[in-house]
Amino acid sequence: MKFMKFTLIILQIVLFNALFGQGMIKKAIELPEPEIKEGALLMEALAERASMREFREEPISLQHISNMLWAANGINRPEEEKRTAPSAINAQDIDVYVFFKSAVYRYDAHKHMLSRVKTGDYREQVAARQEFVLEAPVIFLLVSDFSRFDRGDQEQKFTWANMDAGFVGQNILLYCASENFATVPRAQMNKDKLRDILDLEDSQHLMLNFPVSHKAK
């Protein structure tokens, strides 16, 4: 059983390298089912949770990307189309953008897949002045779409968006702590450039980002 799992992980790493390491950039990537029985106990994850700013370039398997995205803001109650993270008035305003070395994708929680937004390496614009971020093979960026709030003034929407991003962010932090990944929540990024790169609407607001890697040895 252990050997099977090991072989599967190796296959996923090979596939992942083929997709992202050699310039083969798929338009859409179907994610494997999230592994909901894996990871440390919640109390252990809380004991481990800490901001880390030392990263390793080694790629993260597609299975772990799948788990991380589902933990962040995936659908956990399909019959109601509800998520692992709560959101004000169930607006589900937070979208997760995933920056790899070769392309940027957006997580489609309903289909549990990644849709390509742009080819190319734009991690530098997320890193801004913190160069250590570029060592991480993947960065998750949270964007709130205010058009999904069907009530409230702009101030209320900012308050809701900040809180909603906080919940998704904490899910990412706890998943990383539970599976020995290094991450740090970051508000710093080149917002104007990223708005252009991602072709965002005026209603979409860049909230927080999370570079993720295996823990440095």
Ligand X SMILES: Cc1cc2nc3c(=O)[nH]c(=O)nc-3n(C[C@H](O)[C@H](O)[C@H](O)COP(=O)(O)O)c2cc1C
What does residue 205 show for φ and ψ, rounded to 5 degrees?
A: -125, 130
Asked if 50 touches ligand X (CB under 6 A), the answer is yes
Both tokens of 165, joined, read: 């991003």
Asked if 185 touches ligand X (CB under 6 A), the answer is yes
Both tokens of 76, joined, read: 């956990």
Stretch touching ligand X by CB under 6 A, among 17-25, 36-44, 48-56, 134-142: 48-56
Among 7, 115, 159, 188, binds ligand X (CB under 6 A): 188
CB atoms within 10 A of CB 25: 16
Strand partners of residue 205: 144
Asked if 186 touches ligand X (CB under 6 A), the answer is yes
Task: Considering the complex, state which of residue 20 and residue 210 has its C-beta at the smaller distance from ligand X.
Answer: 210
CB atoms within 10 A of CB 142: 25
Asked if 163 touches ligand X (CB under 6 A), the answer is no
Q: Which amino acid is at 149?
A: F
Both tokens of 85, joined, read: 């993270």
Reference 138, options 50, 67, 49, 201; nearest CA is 67
Binding mask 97-136 for ligand X (x = CB under 6 A): ---------------------------------x------
Task: Considering the complex, state which of residue 75 and residue 174 has its C-beta at the smaller distance from ligand X.
Answer: 174
Both tokens of 97, joined, read: 């953008």
- Nearest approach in angstroms of CB 27 to ligand X is 31
- Nearest approach in angstroms of CB 127 to ligand X is 10
Which residues would be at the binding site for ligand X (CB under 6 A)?
A: 50-51, 53, 130, 184-188
